[in-house]
Amino acid sequence: MRQRGVTVIELMVVIAILGILAAVAIPAWRDYLVRAKVRQAADAAAPHVAALDLACRNGNLAGAGNEALGLAPADSWRTEYTTSIAAAGESAGEGIVTVTLDRVGGGIVDGGRLVLAGKCGGRGMVWAAGGEDVPEKYRPALP
């Protein structure tokens, strides 16, 4: 007489496989969510990046801030994951956009800062993301 059904060993193997998959997938999913939130915060700074790029092309980068660039004050740039966004132009041909993060998670404290730094060149600014408060694995790649 043949028995039909699943043995306890087969059931345990399936549960073990599901456990291994969950152990790998859950941390990867959490990292993905944090990267997406940081990317959204960086995208909210697009007007600041564009304004600094224009100031670089026009030679007006030194001393440029939100007001001089025609942008609203830093505290008025609130989004789901930011509390403020400030732009600043430096005399050395550098522009800095500081994005203050909020409710991002992944070990990034509320009030942590994502710094978008740009160097003025012949074709505008070249940008890179940084900041001590945002681990490198969460920083967005910028064009």
105-116: pLDDT as tens digits: 888 889 999 999
Which amino acid is located at 34 in the chain?
Answer: V
82-105: pLDDT as tens digits: 999 999 988 778 999 999 999 998
The span from the CA of 23 to the CA of 33, in Å, is 16
62-69 average pLDDT score: 88
pLDDT confidence tier of residue 1, bands split at 50, 70 and 90: low
Is 5 or 100 the better-scoring residue by pLDDT? 100
36-50: pLDDT as tens digits: 999 999 999 999 999
Do 44 and 82 contact (CB within 8 A), yes or no?
yes
The span from the CA of 82 to the CA of 76, in Å, is 10
**Residue 101: phi, psi to the nearest 5?**
-90, 155
Q: Which residues pair with 128 in a beta bridge?
A: 117
Residue 58 pLDDT = 85
Query: What is the residue-averaged pLDDT of the chain?
Result: 90
Residue 57 pLDDT = 87
